[in-house]
Amino acid sequence: MSHTTEWNLRLFLFEEEGTTKARVALDTGANSLTGRGDAHRNPADADVPEIGDELAAGRAMHDLGRQLVAIAEHDIQEAGPVAEQESRRAPGWLT
């Protein structure tokens, strides 16, 4: 079975008083999810916006990833157990 799909993802970054905030919005067609992440700069650290962007974006994507895995695990449970005979032919989804 061949399968191709496209998911649209938008990443928003903004800074407020030494805190970089990220929001990543994913539209899969079936689901719309939002991941969030923050990065807090210590006042003693050099002001390097790229570092805050990277940390906040990475944390937002990590949050989104956890949500996707949770949805997939739920979908696997909803699909029910694979028949014993079928499980010998195909390994199925691994979590």
Q: What is the CATH number of the domain that holds 43?
A: 3.30.160.240
Judge whether 34 lies within some domain.
Answer: yes
Judge whether 92 lies within some domain.
Answer: no
Tokens of residue 67, six digits: 């949500």
**Angle subtended at Cα 10 by Cα 77 and Cα 32, rounded to the nearest 5 degrees:** 30
- Rounded to the nearest 5°, which phi and psi values hold at 82? -80, 135
**Is residue 46 helix, strand or coil?**
coil
- Rounded to the nearest 5°, which phi and psi values hold at 30? -95, -30
- Structure confidence by residue, pLDDT tens digits, 14-57: 998 889 999 999 999 888 999 999 999 888 988 899 999 999 99
Judge whether 87 lies within some domain.
Answer: no
Domain span at residue 46 reads: 8-78
The number of domains in the chain is 1
Tell me, what amino acid is at 94? L
DSSP designation for 60: H
Tokens of residue 43, six digits: 């006042």
Judge whether 1 lies within some domain.
Answer: no
Give the global pTM: 0.79
